[in-house]
Amino acid sequence: MENKIIGYDKAVARIEEIVNLLESGEKGMDELSDLVKEATTLVKICKNKLRTTESEISKALEDNEENH
Amino acid sequence: MQSAISLLELNQLVKMTLETQLEPTYWVVAEIGELKQAGQGHAYLDLVEKQGNTILAKMRANIWSYSYRGISGRFQAVTGQSLKSGMKVLAQVTVTFHEIYSISLNVKDIDPNFTLGERAKIRQEVIERLGREGMMDLNKRLLLPMVPQNIAVISSASAAGYGDFINQLENNRFGYKVVSKLYQATLQGSEAVNTLLHAFKNVFMDHPKDKFDALVLIRGGGAQLDLDCFDDYSLALEIAKSHIPVITGIGHERDETIADMVAHTKMKTPTAVAEFILSGFREFEERLHDLLKILNRNCSQQLNWEDRRLLDLENRLKIQTRNILSRESEKLTGKLRQVRISSAGLLKLEQVKVANMNLSLQKTLKSQIEQQSRKLEQLEKDIQKSDPNTFFQKGYTRTEINGLPLHKLAPEKGQEIRTYLLDKTIKSIINEIEEHGK
């Protein structure tokens, strides 16, 4: 739940952190799986955000053009 | 010694001698000295001959009443004047001698034509003299005011002509006011010239004070009277030299007198003089009226003209204003068009800029999003790579001791290890540890 209101930049930073943690291989299996789950969720959120952002921006820009 | 005779005898002898020796009649040229008319109609006179003021000859004369009536009547008819002293005559006389009254002449006839010619001669001499002296036109050169309002009149208060003159002036139907001052003079007889000269002198004396516009010389009128004084040289001289224009109204029908000739203006009668003076007034007034009319016409013309000019100016002003307004309006429209065009250009430019910015923004955003997408994909891959399930599916396992990955530890014999597979966890005890060279 907490992840849903997290900002994009923070989310990406968290994903990178998680990737680093995963790559370091120092975490236990349970933790690993939780981290992967978290990262995957965050990626999903970020992707979603990117898409909405893109469409929002396109829409905004289109409105802009129409106004001119 | 001669024997004495009585006076009577002597006078009778003289009388007889004269009667036998002299012609019955003679035509004698002489001047009339004194002339008296007796009660019975006889005339008693002196005949004289003068050289200047000196008497060269003199003799008593008489005209019996039966002759006198005829003689004086004819004389007056021809010459226009009566016999009077100072007159040169050609008389037919008989020399008579009376024992008591001595010698005298009885005038049988007088030739009026001689007197006429004589007077004409004298008159001609006076005219010539005045001409020589430059007097004939002297008074005419003066300027007679058009409106002679202040005039001196030389006349006799009792003369009918004067009365007519004053009456005419005062009762003129135009109501003109003429101020006249009478200077009395006798207009006939031997004293006429002297009183006239005296009157002139008085007029000239008053002139500096009274400032006369004209001097009017008028005579009685009516009956044919003695006009000799108006042919007098000294009177003519006075008129000629006068500084006031002289107008004569001597009132006679025959040839003009010398006074008429030298005067500024000659009128036939006193009434005519009054008419003449008033006509100047009338002419002046008419001229005033005319001038007024002209003034009026000019004024209204001018006004009309100015009116038209104003109207014209007004129109031109209107047209000009309209022109200027429309010109300015066109200018404004032009400016507006320019503003529109240039602002439209600017706007287009800005639009293009904005569009470009938009485009580059879109591009940037797209690339950022792509970059982010790529990054996320990479991260996703990285996560997948690190995800144990990936390995498990490929058959790899993960082994931990006490929750820590085995490759980070130094396992020992007898230690319990936990091996994770895709769907199983295997617990086992380390039996042996072999090193293999890697």
Give the best-scoring range by mean pLDDT among B130-144, B213-227, B358-372: B130-144
Using an 8 Å CB-CB cutoff, list chain B residues near A33. Answer: 388
Distance from C-alpha of B200 to C-alpha of B244, rounded to nearest angstrom: 11
Using an 8 Å CB-CB cutoff, list chain A residues near B405. Answer: 25-26, 28
Give the confidence band of A56 by pLDDT, cuts at 50, 70, 90.
confident
The residues facing B54 across adjacent strands are: B51
Using CA coordinates, name the residue in chain A closest to B400. Answer: A28
Residue bearing the bigger pLDDT, B292 or B120: B292
Question: Which ipTM value was assigned to this complex?
Answer: 0.75
Using an 8 Å CB-CB cutoff, list chain B residues near A48. Answer: none
CATH number corresponding to B7-110: 2.40.50.140
- Averaged over B75-88, what is the pLDDT? 84
Say if the Cβ atoms of B388 and A16 lie within 8 Å: no
pLDDT score of B392: 85
The string of pLDDT tens digits covering residues B193-218 is 899 999 999 999 999 998 999 999 99
Using an 8 Å CB-CB cutoff, list chain B residues near A36. Answer: 383, 386-389
Closest CA of chain A from B340, distance in Å: 16
Rounded to two decimals, the pTM is: 0.53
Using CA coordinates, name the residue in chain B closest to A53. Answer: B369
* Residue ranges matching CATH 3.40.50.2300 in chain B: 122-135+146-282
A37 touches chain B (CB under 8 A): no
Using CA coordinates, name the residue in chain A closest to B372. Answer: A50
Say if the Cβ atoms of B354 and A68 lie within 8 Å: yes
Using an 8 Å CB-CB cutoff, list chain B residues near A19. Answer: 379, 382-383, 386
Give the confidence band of B190 by pLDDT, cuts at 50, 70, 90.
confident
The string of pLDDT tens digits covering residues B302-352 is 888 888 888 888 888 788 878 888 888 898 888 888 888 887 888 788 778
pLDDT score of A1: 39
For tokens 């036998």, the residue is B20
Pairing of strands B43-51, B179-184: unpaired
Amino acid found at B345: G
Task: List the single residue in B369, B385, B403 with the smallest CB-CB distance to A54.
Answer: B369
Q: Any idea how long chain A is?
A: 68
Residue bearing the bigger pLDDT, B369 or B124: B124
Q: Which of B166, B146, B59 is nearest to B106 (CA)?
A: B59
Q: How far is CA B255 from CA A62, B165, B258, in A?
A: 134, 22, 9
For tokens 């991260």, the residue is B379
The DSSP letter of residue B341 is H
The sheet with strand B265-267 has its strands ordered as B179-184, B150-155, B214-218, B246-249, B265-267
Using an 8 Å CB-CB cutoff, list chain A residues near B426. Answer: none
- Averaged over B348-371, what is the pLDDT? 79
Residue bearing the bigger pLDDT, A63 or B395: B395
Does pLDDT of B226 surpass 90? no
pLDDT score of B224: 47
Closest CA of chain A from B407, distance in Å: 9
pLDDT score of B122: 86
Whether the Cβ atoms of residue B41 and residue B26 lie closer than 8 Å to each other: no
pLDDT score of B222: 46
pLDDT score of B325: 82
CATH number corresponding to B122-135+146-282: 3.40.50.2300
Distance from C-alpha of B173 to C-alpha of B162, rounded to nearest angstrom: 19
The residues facing B97 across adjacent strands are: B103
The string of pLDDT tens digits covering residues B160-180 is 888 889 999 999 888 999 999
* Residue ranges matching CATH 2.40.50.140 in chain B: 7-110
A55 touches chain B (CB under 8 A): no
Q: Which of B37, B30, B43, B48 is nearest to B92 (CA)?
A: B30
To the nearest whole number, what is the mean pLDDT of chain B? Answer: 87
Residue B275, C-beta contacts closer than 8 angstroms, at least 6 positions apart:
B168, B267
A65 touches chain B (CB under 8 A): yes
pLDDT score of A42: 83
pLDDT score of B223: 46
Chain B residues within 8 angstroms (CB to CB) of chain A: 351, 354-355, 358, 361-362, 365-366, 369, 372-373, 375-376, 379-380, 382-383, 385-389, 398, 400, 403-405, 407-408, 420
- Averaged over B107-134, what is the pLDDT? 90
Using an 8 Å CB-CB cutoff, list chain B residues near A50. Answer: 369, 372-373, 376
